[in-house]
Chains A and B, each alone.
Chain A
């Protein structure tokens, strides 16, 4: 490996590092580290309404499929 290859690789690394630093600073600034437990729990909770059977739905369900 020649020195020029190494220079090229190091230059690439430098660019990556700049992006890494910018990325993580943005994440910190936008509050992504403020609540470390929340997102892990939030993903388990379904937010889509069809997943929540309303009282009316449940009753309708019982009529069509008597158990």
Chain B
């Protein structure tokens, strides 16, 4: 057991008779985090009817239903544990956890249990749960998935049956078969193929039609053409009599294509679901002060001029002006500024920034659409619309291929009309069927499905289909600084012991004092002493905004800013002059002397340098666009060896800088995490969001790095390159196969079984080639 928190979790698991979890788990859970009483208190906000309206469905008079996202699930045993535990709570009617998406559908009786109690129980198990706001797109996606499955089922059943009948027809063609049996088998095959052509193959027609309407021949045009001509031709032969029918080809072709596309969208949807699970549904509440009364109201009900109380550690709900209190706020996600900004009376605060130290009373000046935050989000939409389009390889090949096939079929038809009119129709048909672009249309989705599912395993979520191809062509990568190249939280960069205590000793004392505080600086101390036993502190006194005092082994210590902690004590500060620019100093003193000074700053991620070096080795340009102060950006750029950087860039300027790069002909990839990066993330040809970043950033990007590892950017770029290579090989092979088969079909030498065999083998090769992507 590493701490009391873990012990409590283990205790509650065993007490509830769920000890089997320990026998069945196959992966260790994520490292524990403290369950703060304050956090538990916040959960009660979820019981507020105004908040519940967005995610709770009334299933009956007193029964409610909601979808919860479970965080911290690592293996099946975790899911079992949660399911069992929630189910045995009094008042819970049903619970069902989806293994793939980590979402739980819970229904409960509101007279016997509250939603917050359920959430609290999950948190006591050591997991984190928050309600999922099922939106319209989600509903639609589910419906489409069911429809796709139905199409595959129809195509599969029909293909299997028609194939059996086809064996009979082929065997009959070889050994002899009576004419009425042939007719019977053909008609039966026709009946089975009708649902395939009219229902299962529907998506291809729709996509081909929209492609034709917009003047771009996409891959679905030849596909739809092949299905329709093969069906019309076979129908003709069935009714009028003739040599070949192609019902088996239609069934198999449709089944193959539907399945690979299902796999491809499946891999992508898994990514989208995982990314959606990151988006937290915050209770959008604010503490309003009205006529001396404080009460929580939904943010939507706030009006201009209302007074709101923002507690320490809370996000500011609306833009406003401070009217009472002094504190500092963290605006790093909105502006990129890495240092906390002091706020006193008459200072403006931005919605979405975090209040760090002490309570503030704010007079609201902007809500909803009028906030700075909403302005940035509007810029995102604009950037999305102006995003440069990259033509896709598959579509380029498709339009070229379609014209060649159509031209060739026409030519062959004209020639045969002059040679032998009776055979002309059949030969034109066999040309169209033999060149049936099965392998060609599998080439791209098969590669995308393989690459996508491989990247998912590494925690790289590819949310948009075009990203893989675009990645291969990237010539320039733009990084945000705060939270992307750097960790985004202050960390201890230097310790200066000024008395007889060693570095470790003073660190231990400092961390022990800081354990009572929630300030971000305090967390940096706790991180450094992760596994050590903290000292017992008595008489701890937390003075908000200044520091902490406390007694350890009878000695009184103070820690905090210079004025508070050292209270005028003389000390040798000569060594402190060479502290890194932008660092915050924390002083630790006892009654008589300064014990140590700690320098805290936002440090670079461990893999930042390796990533930049790897990108440069690949000949890809690197630049930094940051909203932070010039010295801090220059310092980071120097450490990384990046010469092209700009500091103090507001979102609009960042976006203009991006457009400038794009006008120079660069294909730009953007890596960012904050709200201020969102417009650039949507405007770049391809973009990465850090998994630890804001919701707006991950929604604006094509790829989310779940583990927030920068080296994943390089991995993804490399994967993009090899995916594009595989696509090219596949397209080349498929086109070559079709072009070789074409002359034989044109001369009337291709029998149906040869055509079927050739199609299967060429498709198989394409799929196997895609599977090499590892």
Contacts and interface: CB of A to CB of B under 8 A. Distances in A.
Interface of A: 3, 6-7, 10, 13, 17, 20-21, 24-25, 28-29, 33-38, 41-42, 44-46, 49, 51-55
B15 interface: yes
Top-8 shortest CB links A-B: A41-B76, A38-B99, A37-B99, A54-B17, A24-B153, A45-B80, A35-B98, A28-B149
Contacts of A55: 14-15, 17, 19
Contacts of B185: 6
Contact of B150 (A13, A25, A53): A25
Interface string B95-135: 00111110000000000000000000000000000000000
B400 interface: no
A41 B77 CA distance: 9
Given A10-B184, A28-B150, A17 B99 contact: no
Nearest to A11: B188
Nearest to B192: A17
A21 to B, nearest CB: 6
Contacts of B149: 28, 33
Given A6-B184, A45-B24, A53-B19, A21 B157 contact: yes
Contacts of A52: 17-20
A20 B24 CA distance: 37
Nearest to B183: A3
B321 to A, nearest CB: 50
Contacts of A51: 20
18 contacts: A3-B181, A20-B157, A24-B153, A25-B150, A34-B98, A35-B100, A38-B97, A38-B100, A41-B76, A41-B80, A42-B76, A44-B24, A45-B76, A45-B80, A49-B17, A52-B17, A52-B19, A54-B19
A34 B153 CA distance: 15
Contacts of B161: 13, 17
Interface in B78-106: 79-80, 97-101
Contact of B100 (A13, A25, A37): A37
Contact of A41 (B20, B99, B178): B99
Contacts of A49: 17
B20 A25 contact: no
Given A17-B161, A45-B76, A10 B20 contact: no
A31 B443 CA distance: 31
Contacts of B431: none
B103 to A, nearest CB: 10
Contacts of A46: 20
Given A10-B188, A35-B100, 10 more contacts: A3-B180, A6-B185, A13-B188, A21-B154, A29-B146, A34-B98, A36-B100, A38-B100, A45-B76, A45-B80
Contacts of B146: 28-29, 33
A47 B19 CA distance: 12
A53 to B, nearest CB: 7
A3 B172 CA distance: 14
Contacts of B101: 35
A3 B100 contact: no
B98 A6 contact: no
A3 B178 contact: yes
A7 B24 contact: no
B74 to A, nearest CB: 13
Interface in B1-40: 14-15, 17-20, 24
A38 B102 CA distance: 10
A24 B192 CA distance: 16
A34 B145 CA distance: 9
Given A17-B192, A37-B100, A7 B19 contact: no
A21 B18 CA distance: 41
Contacts of A54: 17, 19
